[in-house]
Amino acid sequence: SARLKMTSKSLNGSFPLSSAIFWYVVGGAFHELAHVASMMMSMMMNKDGAFFSYPNSVKALKSFSSFALKSALGRSADLRQLFPNDEKDDDGFLLFFERSVAISRAVAVFASAILFLWSLVALREKQNTNENRRAKTFAFAATLFDAICSDVLFSHVGSFREIRKMSSSYSSSVVYCGNFGIVLLNAAWCSQNGERAYDLLEKMVNVTMMRGAQSGGIVTFEEEKGEGNMRGVRSRVVNMKRTDLSKLLRSKTERESKGKMKLAEKKAQTRIFCGHTRFATTSKATFDGTHPHQWSPKQDLLVYGLKQTKSGSTRVSVENFITHNGDFDAFQVNRKWNDQGSMNLWLESVLKFKPPSVVDSASIAGVVDLIRAQGCFALAARFSACFMLKTSDVFPDAPMPTLAQFEDIGKHFEKVLDETLIASNGQSTVQEIGFSLAMREKLTKEIIDEFEKGMNKDALKCLDNYLDEEMGAPSREFVRFTVNAFFDNDSLFTMKYFLTHAKGSFGLMVTCSLDAHRQLCVAARGQTISVAFYPKKGLICYGSEQAAVKAGLSVETPNGDILASVHGGEYGDDNAAIRLDLDDLNGEICLLDWGADRIPAVSYPNSHLEQYPLMGGSVNAILAKEGEMRVEEPMTALRKQKSTENIAPSSPRRGKGVSVDKKLFHRMTRLEGNELIKMLPKESDDPVLTDIADIPRILKNIQDDWRNKPQGSMSLNRLTAWNLARCLKKRLARRVNRTIKSEGSIDVVVTGCEVSLWLAEQFASDLQTAFPRLRVKAISSNKILGLWGQDLPVPSVGFTNSKKTDDFTDAIVIIVSHSGGTFAPLATSNLLVSSTNSIFVVASEWDTQIGKQLRAMKSEGEFDSRIFTTDVGVRPAEPCSISVAATQQLLTQIFLHMSLVILDNADFRKYTNAYVTKHDLSELEKCNQMNIAALEEIVGYSASPKKEKLKSAKEDELRKQGDDWADHVLEGVKGWIMSFVYIVGTVTAGYPLITGVAVLCGLATTWAFYITRFFDALIYAFLPQISITIIRLIQGRNLLHRMTARTIVIGDIPWVSQCADAFLSKIFACSYSAAGITVLSGNTNDHLVHRHTHRVVRGALLIVGRPDGRLSGLTSAEATTSLSLSQASSIQSIGGTCESITIGHSPYKLPLSKNAIFLSRHRPKYLCEKYYEERTENNLDGKSAGALLGIYSTYHEEHTELSVHKLNNRNAVALLTNACKYAEEQRAHILTVFKELDTNQDGRLSLSEFTSAYKKLDTLAAAAGEEHIALTDAQIAKLFRSGDRDTNGTLDFDEFSEIINLPEILMLKILEADPRNAEGLLMVEPSHEEYFGQVLRKSAPPQIKPYTLMESQEFSMKLYEARIASLQRFVAMTVLFHQTGTRVQRFWRKVSFGYLGYRTDRTHSIMRIATTASPVSGAEVRDRRHFIALVTAFNSAVSTIRRVHYEFVEGVKLSRKRVLRRNNDFSNSTHNSAGESEGEDLSYRGRGGKSAFQELLLRRAGSV
């Protein structure tokens, strides 16, 4: 009994765990509050601390209290949050911060030690008898241990200096980035602490994030120390895997900037916000690599104002910021190119500041610091020494004077300028002096004289390394360049100078504190930049993404619009929102100036540029191209006029109307009142579900639009289709007439990237199969850029692509890019303009970057619409569902249209050897229209504009399967949670399961507890497996599956498997690793078995899309697919294998599959299905692929006289001999008929003779009792025209024989109906048959057997599979995968109370659109296209000469024939020779003794 009591006591324990936990929490809170309190004291001693930066003390205390509470409860204090972000890059601040943190850590450790010692002393006073005091001492000891570990052993983690050093050593020369920004001209945007302005910024960031969002930043400027003195406030954040950059950036910008918003509203000041989102590719996404970039920190310098009339400079703050997307490769100084690494070393020695980051954009900031010098002689002198002298060079450790030394030099310049201003008695401003070349020359001479005075001769001593008379760098040149830089180097000059001397691609924004109150400069070269103007809102938006600048349309103006609509003007509403897209191909700069005087502050070298008043005249836009700028240019009349207009407030130009200039208007895109502009989508809790639900509606809209029933006033797709048909006819006509420029050129090129490319490849495959002789090629845009866009081509190893095999001259190019802004397709559109004008794009909307480029192409006088649009608009969700479905639908419409164009012309049909028929197209169109109902059933939403939710058993079945697979994915997490609960519960209670049960049962034997504990130990060891087994028992799932992460394998035709793979992997991209999956895909008819069966393990998940084997043309495909699945599922281990499901239309479940989801037919039956029903009074549903193969093989045997299965050596010889005899007899018979009908004995039959011949053959066949085809006269005439290959109106014997021997199926193709509808549009009319083949069966000649008709429908079945059935399977997979991903996502949120949530519509990279070069650079596209144009012109000239020579030779032959016929003497050889000689004279001689060949060549010269 005593031993049992002892055991019970030991089991119960006397240590109060709950008390220890409580005191541990209290000790941790005390420790963190010690951190906060010590840092508060440091802040109070630092006047620039955050405690004093808030607008009022109440707000400061609230913010500080909130931070302290979070730190205490979270046991973690991020002390960096207490300080303003704009100070974090300052070296002085870093020293202060690290010193404060060290003190704070010491104080916190000391406080924890005091707490422990106090509890220890108290415990000893009670003689260690109080259990609660023991628990308290233990808890405080644990707290002290934590403090030592976190604040002593690992104290280096988290400092700003360490964060600055976390950048990679790699150069970030290629990044996916996006610029964005706003100019708030209307002070109302600053009301309510700028709430609406920040809404707008967040919306722009959210859209720009599609280009990548690993980090982002915003800079704005605030007034300080009096009127006109601006300081930059920069807010930057590094995004985490599952956080939203737009919200993070808004929160930080709002916290650090909005304190000045009320002041801006009160003073009616214009505020700018310039931002950037970054996706790093060759360096880590670190804080120091985040834009906006600034090399030199804020510096107080002596500066003159442009409008200043009084003498004396003013010391003001100067700092420059840039944002950049693209790549900066090199910079030119004195005609020598210097790479970015060399520039970094040089900039460090020149600017006297270390590089803020290793990324290339930071180097741009350093160069801008050197160039931007207007108004400051110190900066101007430094610019001259760095760039303008012949001794200027880039090298490390350059002996460049400090800025203080340059200020000393600048004082001599200031002295002369002050004397000039005093002499003008306030009549001249600094700007006016700069606009007078005579005044500049006078200043230069006086300054040179100043330096030559005895006391000032040593003033330039610090520049001895640069000023060298013998090297061509005398001091007078230095003075001249300095004076010019002082007057000229404004923001526009800076941008222009930089682009002229820089190599790379640039979407660039430059702003300076000196002119941030009135100017902003952006530029585009190789990267896009768009600027949107909202006159009614008093708002300007700019951005790299066209869609981002449309954010102003969806955010209401605070306090209402400031301008009303002005209708009746030359261009409609003069105050409507418009957008200007800069010319990124040739390079363009845009300066925006909103100065109160409405006179743009532009320096003399750019004063001749046209100035465009916008925004009701409150803003002037100046557009410029990169290029050299020389002040010494003569003062032409134009320059005088423009210079006067630029600085004279009384200029007549100032009184002009404020409507958009006509030249600029034609470049603008109207954003308001434009049905072609799509609004940004509304925010959704589940963007992926929104996309899936929109699929039926969008696809129905595409079909209606193609049938000329658009949602708007007109169908641009039909106009583009007309232009495509015109180009296709022109191309094929040249093929037929042998006038093609390049015989080896490709006829149709389809290109794109990733998902778009996979869809393009399927389209190209279908088009090539339909027209075997048409040269169709699908090629990646990256391969085109690699081969033709580089001076040193990127070899396409493993592919047949090369410059020798691929010729794009005059090809029809279809670029598939749903976003319309992906870099490679965009660069390809620019590149191929040099080779062909027939370029089209398939995009999500009319207003895209590629669309802009194509609209700028030169037309041939007609309305050249080049944009096919799905009208889906911007879709921010990264998993592609609706974009894939809509693109597939639109490509189906294009395929139908191109097929009709070719089939409608007999010559084109013959040349392309058309395999497709109009019956095939009618059947495809019928399936196409019925596809909408099928998609409604799959997604559970209607196709109506309201998008009602439908009750769909099919959607429920798909989502149920998605839930089942989610259970597979989540079982590991659930098992871990169950294990956690079990361990915590049993350990806390002190009773493991078996031991606890034993105690409850009264077990008291000591040795027995060793046994129970042993089994409890086994439970602990195998607890995860036990938990998962329990879960599987409850859910009814296979117990033998592996207990590990799941792999999902997708098998289908290539485009479906690849797109579904991309969709599913992006759905799970942000999932936590415990519930992550591996996604694989393969073609079930090709390599699925070879690539993935070795990966089959118990519990692997396999989903396979099955073709509809009930169709005779797809039976073998389904059999192959079924075999692949069976082979994968037959691989077993201890009785378990993969879990496989199938999705398809044939309602048969494979024996080895776990589940089968059958999609409804939603199409008429084909003849093969109908024929089986007529013979057996049963249907094909439920038949296996093997059974279907047997049925159709039987039909094939029945309708074939001699099967290959019955062929042997003896009957093969007999068969061939009989066939030869029959062919000879048939040819002799046809020749006899031909001679009888050739009444004039000229060896040719006219139409009337052919009609008689055909009817005579019918009569002979009928007399012999043979089956024959009876045709009308119209049908006979159609056959006659199809057989007249040389189009001379007659048939020779070979042409006649070919028609007579024409197979019945081909004859049916020729006799098809006209494809145009009642409106005259080339349109495929859907089949109205009860079953496909009904009309064909009725109209077919009696001798055509049923299986022959079935075979004639095989291509129609393949088109149905490639264009319709596969699309339904893809959409079904997206529904299933979405349910799986959403179930997993919701589980994490639920079990963590929202803390572990993430989004399924985003990936870690957050890159929806790849807008920067990857993997192929596009830096040389601009230069390469000119070279390609030259080569194309040369080849065209050679082709023209060759064609003219061919025509000339053919003309000689034709002339000889005519002479022979005219003489009509075939027996007299002498007379024949004379006739030939006469023919030669007629052919070779022209007017004035010129040969006919020369005349033909001269007539063709214009085309060269």
1229-1240: average pLDDT? 74
In the predicted model, is pLDDT for residue 1212 greater than 60?
no
Strands 519-525 and 502-512: antiparallel
- Structure tokens that stand for 1146 in this block: 């044939």
861-889: average pLDDT? 88
**Residue predicted with more confidence, 358 or 812:** 812
Residue partners of 1469: CB distance under 8 A and separation at least 6: none
623-627: average pLDDT? 85
**DSSP-assigned letters across all residues of 651-714:** -GGGGS--SPPHHHHTTEEE-TT-TTSPPPPPP-S-HHHHHHHTHHHHHHHHHHHHTT--SSSS
Per-residue confidence at 1, pLDDT binned at 50, 70, 90? Answer: very low
In the predicted model, is pLDDT for residue 1504 greater than 50?
no
In the predicted model, is pLDDT for residue 379 greater than 90?
yes
Q: Please name which of 208, 168, 205 lies closest in space to residue 288, comparing C-alpha atoms.
A: 168
**Residue predicted with more confidence, 51 or 1027:** 1027
User: Dihedral sign, CA of 842, 844, 849, 853?
Assistant: positive
Say what the pLDDT of residue 374 is.
93
Map residue 1327 onto helix, strand or coil.
coil
Map residue 36 onto helix, strand or coil.
helix
Map residue 1037 onto helix, strand or coil.
coil
Say what the pLDDT of residue 59 is.
46
In the predicted model, is pLDDT for residue 126 greater than 60?
no
In the predicted model, is pLDDT for residue 141 greater than 90?
no
Q: Please name which of 1316, 1163, 1275, 1480 lies closest in space to residue 725, comparing C-alpha atoms.
A: 1316
Percent of the chain past pLDDT 70, that is, above it, reads 78
Place of tokens 């030559």: 452
1346-1361: average pLDDT? 90
The model's pLDDT over 1175-1186, given as tens digits with 9 standing for 90+, comes to: 888 889 989 989
Per-residue confidence at 161, pLDDT binned at 50, 70, 90? Answer: very low
The highest-confidence range among 80-94, 956-970, 986-1000, by mean pLDDT, is: 956-970
Task: Give the C-alpha separation, 1301 to 1283, whole Å.
Answer: 11
Q: Please name which of 194, 362, 349 lies closest in space to residue 293, comparing C-alpha atoms.
A: 362
- Structure tokens that stand for 1353 in this block: 């429908």
CB 318 within 8 A of CB 302: no
- Structure tokens that stand for 384 in this block: 């001259």
Say what the pLDDT of residue 546 is.
86
The highest-confidence range among 798-802, 873-877, 1206-1210, by mean pLDDT, is: 873-877
Say what the pLDDT of residue 263 is.
65
Which of 226-230, 425-429, 587-591, 1414-1418 is least confident? 1414-1418
Task: Give the C-alpha separation, 583 to 210, whole Å.
Answer: 22
Say what the pLDDT of residue 1018 is.
92
**Residue predicted with more confidence, 116 or 1183:** 1183
517-534: average pLDDT? 91
Task: Give the C-alpha separation, 579 to 529, whole Å.
Answer: 11
In the predicted model, is pLDDT for residue 647 greater than 80?
no
Count CB-CB contacts under 10 A for residue 1062.
19
Say what the pLDDT of residue 323 is.
93
> 1107: number of CA atoms within 13 Å, CB side?
29
Q: Tell me, what DSSP letter sits at residue 1362?
A: I
CA angle 608, 477, 405 (to 5 degrees): 105
1041-1053: average pLDDT? 91
Say what the pLDDT of residue 244 is.
82
In the predicted model, is pLDDT for residue 1412 greater than 80?
no
Q: Please name which of 981, 985, 870, 888 lies closest in space to residue 928, comparing C-alpha atoms.
A: 888
Task: Give the C-alpha separation, 1333 to 1466, whole Å.
Answer: 55
Percent of the chain past pLDDT 90, that is, above it, reads 33
Map residue 16 onto helix, strand or coil.
coil
Which of 254-258, 368-372, 773-777, 1483-1487 is least confident? 1483-1487
The model's pLDDT over 570-599, given as tens digits with 9 standing for 90+, comes to: 555 668 889 999 988 888 999 999 988 777
Task: Give the C-alpha separation, 197 to 250, whole Å.
Answer: 10
Strands 230-238 and 588-593: unpaired
Say what the pLDDT of residue 661 is.
64
Say what the pLDDT of residue 1041 is.
87
**Strand ranges (E), 1129-1240:** 1139-1144, 1155-1158, 1165-1166
Count CB-CB contacts under 10 A for residue 99.
11
Q: Describe the chain by its helix, strand, coil percentages, rounded to 5.
A: 55, 15, 35
The model's pLDDT over 309-332, given as tens digits with 9 standing for 90+, comes to: 899 999 999 999 999 988 888 999
Task: Give the C-alpha separation, 976 to 246, whole Å.
Answer: 34
In the predicted model, is pLDDT for residue 838 greater than 50?
yes
483-510: average pLDDT? 92
Q: Please name which of 1064, 1040, 1058, 1139 lies closest in space to residue 1096, comparing C-alpha atoms.
A: 1139
Strands 812-816 and 776-780: unpaired
- Structure tokens that stand for 1363 in this block: 């264009």
Q: Say if residue 1164 is preceded by a cis peptide, omega within 30 of 0.
A: no
Which of 77-81, 1281-1285, 1300-1304 is least confident? 77-81
**Adjacent-strand bridge partners of 54:** none
Map residue 593 onto helix, strand or coil.
strand
The model's pLDDT over 818-828, given as tens digits with 9 standing for 90+, comes to: 888 888 888 88
In the predicted model, is pLDDT for residue 1468 greater than 60?
no
CB 390 within 8 A of CB 473: yes
CB 978 within 8 A of CB 1030: yes
Say what the pLDDT of residue 222 is.
85
Say what the pLDDT of residue 1008 is.
85
Phi-psi region of 1184 (alpha: psi -120 to 50; beta: other; left: phi over 0): beta
pTM to 2 decimal places = 0.76
Residue partners of 1447: CB distance under 8 A and separation at least 6: 1496
Say what the pLDDT of residue 689 is.
94
SS3 of 518-531: the string is CEEEEEEEECCCEE
In the predicted model, is pLDDT for residue 67 greater than 80?
no
> 1330: number of CA atoms within 13 Å, CB side?
4
**Residue predicted with more confidence, 765 or 85:** 765
**DSSP-assigned letters across all residues of 1256-1273:** HHHHHHHHTT-------H
Q: Say if residue 681 is preceded by a cis peptide, omega within 30 of 0.
A: no
Say what the pLDDT of residue 1473 is.
41
Say what the pLDDT of residue 142 is.
80
Rg (CA), the chain: 40
Which backbone phi and psi does 1053 adopt, to 5 degrees? -65, 160
**Residue predicted with more confidence, 892 or 1413:** 892
The highest-confidence range among 179-193, 575-589, 1112-1126, 1402-1416, by mean pLDDT, is: 1112-1126
Which of 403-417, 913-927, 1090-1104, 1162-1176 is least confident? 1090-1104
Per-residue confidence at 1144, pLDDT binned at 50, 70, 90? Answer: very high
Q: Tell me, what DSSP letter sits at residue 1329?
A: -
Say what the pLDDT of residue 802 is.
78
Phi-psi region of 1181 (alpha: psi -120 to 50; beta: other; left: phi over 0): beta
The gap from C-alpha 1067 to its chain's centroid, in whole angstroms, comes to 18
Say what the pLDDT of residue 1434 is.
75
In the predicted model, is pLDDT for residue 84 greater than 60?
no
Angstrom CA distances, 1423 to 586, 834, 1095, 1106, stand at 10, 11, 48, 49
CB 877 within 8 A of CB 1061: no
Task: Give the C-alpha separation, 585 to 856, whole Å.
Answer: 11
Please give the order of strands across the beta sheet that includes 320-333: 336-339, 320-333, 502-512, 519-525, 588-593, 619-624, 611-614
Q: Say if residue 649 is preceded by a cis peptide, omega within 30 of 0.
A: no
In the predicted model, is pLDDT for residue 115 greater than 70?
yes
Q: Tell me, what DSSP letter sits at residue 81?
A: G
In the predicted model, is pLDDT for residue 240 greater than 70?
yes
In the predicted model, is pLDDT for residue 170 greater than 70?
no
The model's pLDDT over 438-462, given as tens digits with 9 standing for 90+, comes to: 899 999 999 988 888 766 777 888 8
**Residue predicted with more confidence, 464 or 285:** 464
In the predicted model, is pLDDT for residue 288 greater than 50?
yes
The model's pLDDT over 930-987, given as tens digits with 9 standing for 90+, comes to: 999 999 999 999 999 888 999 999 999 999 999 999 999 999 999 999 999 999 999 9
Length of the chain: 1504
Q: Please name which of 606, 353, 592 lies closest in space to residue 500, comparing C-alpha atoms.
A: 606
Provide the Cα torsion 899, 905, 910, 913; round to 10°. 0
Map residue 806 onto helix, strand or coil.
coil
**DSSP-assigned letters across all residues of 139-208:** HHHHHHHHHHIIIIITTTTT-HHHHHTTS-SS----EEEEEEEEEE-SGGGGSGGGHHHHHHHHHHHHHH
> 365: number of CA atoms within 13 Å, CB side?
28
Please provide the average confidence, as pLDDT, over all residues in the chain: 80
**Residue predicted with more confidence, 1465 or 306:** 306
N-terminal to C-terminal alpha carbon distance within the chain: 115
Per-residue confidence at 1492, pLDDT binned at 50, 70, 90? Answer: low
Place of tokens 């956080």: 243
